[in-house]
Structure 1
């Protein structure tokens, strides 16, 4: 689809994710034992036949660069076009923090945006776990005649979000900002199909007025001036990962076969960086109940309702329940853990007890040794 170009926002650290994003962006967080969160945006674009994609980054993006490499795992490794990494090159030297909003992020790479040859730009956030049927969204967008389509969900997110008030004709003419509960309208997944001229005019207007936010500034002004937004409903699983609790719950959601079927439909495969590893070994006397376990692990203890990434060792007598264990972690003999997120390469020595809750899971930062 040469008329469409993808932009993925992967700059946000999301402070509410705490230690999980101290050395990485939210988009590069491991998910479901095998993937990174950005895989869903990349795969949605790939499945729609869109292979020209820019990824906007700001800082702490070494993990992201290592994962994306040339983009060949998503069929985006090309000499012309393909996957492009976009660090900030349009900001003054004194600007050291994160982007204030998505409009500021776009203006920081404005030269790249202006040089895009496509008629339409699809904007997505890299920390959204959703497998969006962009082919269907594009068909609806073109048929609507609108300059912008918002991709929404009729589910109620468990984080602060924006909602579009949708009229009977399928267009939104007003918004409600920063909702935290169910309410009128459709919850935005903050993914958009927009004409390039409209996006550039929004960027220019916001830059002139020192505005930084796409919804609060650009979309609000567009609606106030009589513009209308076409709304496409994503009906499958969809969550933006905006806090440690949301990250933990989204991983636990994947233990449901119904949720996995929505996020990983056979007709829209989710690709990730290829890892070659041996099969996981389950020792005599070990037990695994309702778990997702990647390759390359050694399981000698008991795991229940857990997400286990590759190269993890859980020693004899250990009992884990409701845990997310990332790559290269070792759990010692006799350890008891419940509702814990153990980041990469952590070590828990023998006979420790670590207990969290579903609302407040314990996070062991990357490289922790206990």
Structure 2
């Protein structure tokens, strides 16, 4: 039976180390970091693919891939277990002329041109596996076709103070990109690249081959490929996205994105029945809230036992907060124990850590500061904070 060609496929970059997340990515890839109590960061991009009708996703992994690979498996939780297409994990591999690590974003895609050609798609969408957002990529594809674009970049407006973190572009009234600068010191626009690109397949391959042949290139989409396309006068357009989007590549932004889930009208509302976020779940019992417990404005996941106070928090599975313990404005990942009389404020506590009786982690939140200026204390996976010890906001404890 002949294989049916695909209209489009997704290539998902998930090999990043995420060094700015400190100990949270010491032994796992950034895309595998827990988020929102029951998810991992990569769930959002995979869900977007499925909900957008994309049934073939190549996931490019490299740094500490074992947990991420095990988590994704064959793609069952996202309905991506397919005979033809589906979810395919694409690590660097031995070729006829030797092996090579993925050197950067464009090089990673270049090394998998054979995978792309196998499905003969008309279009390829390039995605990042470390952003939190919900997006219907079909609307972007329609825009790409309408503009007869060779490459379309998803953009959103960011505060002027944050432009130095992104590729920034200027456009004409029709949306055509006329200038692109990666992480400018003096920006001329606030339109920031979301790291989402749609290419016509043949154009993508020609761009990647030219980039690989350039000995001076660092093989990065933002630094090299996009500026080259612009310089060549190709049809390069910006697709403006107006929904919630967060790059969670720092401790502060990861904490802030979790906090965005809270409140009566949260900025990040995951209670959307039409666009549910899919993930692989462990089998856990229901959460138990003790008679004297206090729980306010928090996400409490399966298997939690709460006997103390939890306010403005996101708790992962199996978290135990014992009597007299207080947890505020914090992200607590799976299987953490907060012992009797302990307090945790403005912190991220990673999987399996133990906060001893009477210990103090972090400091109460200064409500006068915007979220991105809050000092967040990090306790690494498996760390034991002894009873009575104080961990200040300037400290980060990791297990070596």
TM tier relative to shorter chain: over 0.9
Aligned mates of 2:120, 2:303 — CA distance in 1: 44
1:39 corresponds to which of 40, 43, 47: 43
* Structure 1 residue 241, shift from structure 2 partner: 1.5
1:106 corresponds to which of 86, 92, 109: 109
* Structure 1 residue 254, shift from structure 2 partner: 1.4
Query: Is the CA contact (8 Å cut-off) linking 1:114 and 1:200 kept in structure 2?
Result: no
Q: Once superposed, what is the RMSD of the aligned Cα atoms?
A: 2.0
* Structure 1 residue 359, shift from structure 2 partner: 3.3
Q: Which moved more, 1:79-88 or 1:101-110?
A: 101-110
Aligned mates of 1:181, 1:337 — CA distance in 2: 39
Aligned residues: 367
- 3-state DSSP class of the match of 2:81? coil
Change (3 A) 1:10 1:111: same
Match of 2:154 in 1: 151
Query: Is the CA contact (8 Å cut-off) linking 1:173 and 1:228 kept in structure 2?
Result: no
* Structure 1 residue 47, shift from structure 2 partner: 0.6
More RCO (CA 8 Å, sep 6+) = 1
Q: Deviations over 1:44-99 (max 9, x none)?
A: 11011111000000130111112211101111011221000000016887856xx4
- 3-state DSSP class of the match of 1:259? coil
1:62 paired to 2:66: yes
1:140 paired to 2:143: yes
Query: Is the CA contact (8 Å cut-off) linking 2:252 and 2:374 kept in structure 1?
Result: yes
Map 1:164-313 onto structure 2 (within 5 A): 164-179=169-184, 184-210=189-215, 211=217, 212-256=219-263, 257-261=265-269, 265-313=272-320
**Normalised TM-score (structure 1):** 0.94
Change (3 A) 1:264 1:179: farther
Q: Which moved more, 1:352-361 or 1:70-79?
A: 352-361
1:118 paired to 2:121: yes
Aligned mates of 2:157, 2:273 — CA distance in 1: 23
* Structure 1 residue 264, shift from structure 2 partner: 5.5
Match of 2:28 in 1: 24
Match of 2:75 in 1: 71
- 3-state DSSP class of the match of 1:242? coil
Aligned mates of 2:228, 2:271 — CA distance in 1: 37
* Structure 1 residue 193, shift from structure 2 partner: 1.0
Query: Is the CA contact (8 Å cut-off) linking 1:163 and 1:176 kept in structure 2?
Result: yes
* Structure 1 residue 314, shift from structure 2 partner: 0.6
Aligned mates of 2:315, 2:275 — CA distance in 1: 24
- 3-state DSSP class of the match of 2:268? helix
Match of 2:10 in 1: 6
Query: Is the CA contact (8 Å cut-off) linking 1:2 and 1:50 kept in structure 2?
Result: no
Q: Which moved more, 1:115-124 or 1:320-329?
A: 115-124
Q: Which moved more, 1:50-59 or 1:133-142?
A: 133-142
**Normalised TM-score (structure 2):** 0.87
User: Structure 2, unaligned stretches of length 5 or more?
Assistant: 366-372, 386-400
1:359 corresponds to which of 374, 392, 397: 374
- 3-state DSSP class of the match of 2:82? coil
* Structure 1 residue 269, shift from structure 2 partner: 2.0
Say which one has the larger Rg: 2
* Structure 1 residue 196, shift from structure 2 partner: 1.1
Query: Is the CA contact (8 Å cut-off) linking 1:173 and 1:227 kept in structure 2?
Result: no
Change (3 A) 1:199 1:327: same
Change (3 A) 1:245 1:181: farther
Aligned mates of 1:301, 1:109 — CA distance in 2: 51
User: Structure 1, unaligned stretches of length 5 or more?
Assistant: none
Change (3 A) 1:195 1:245: same
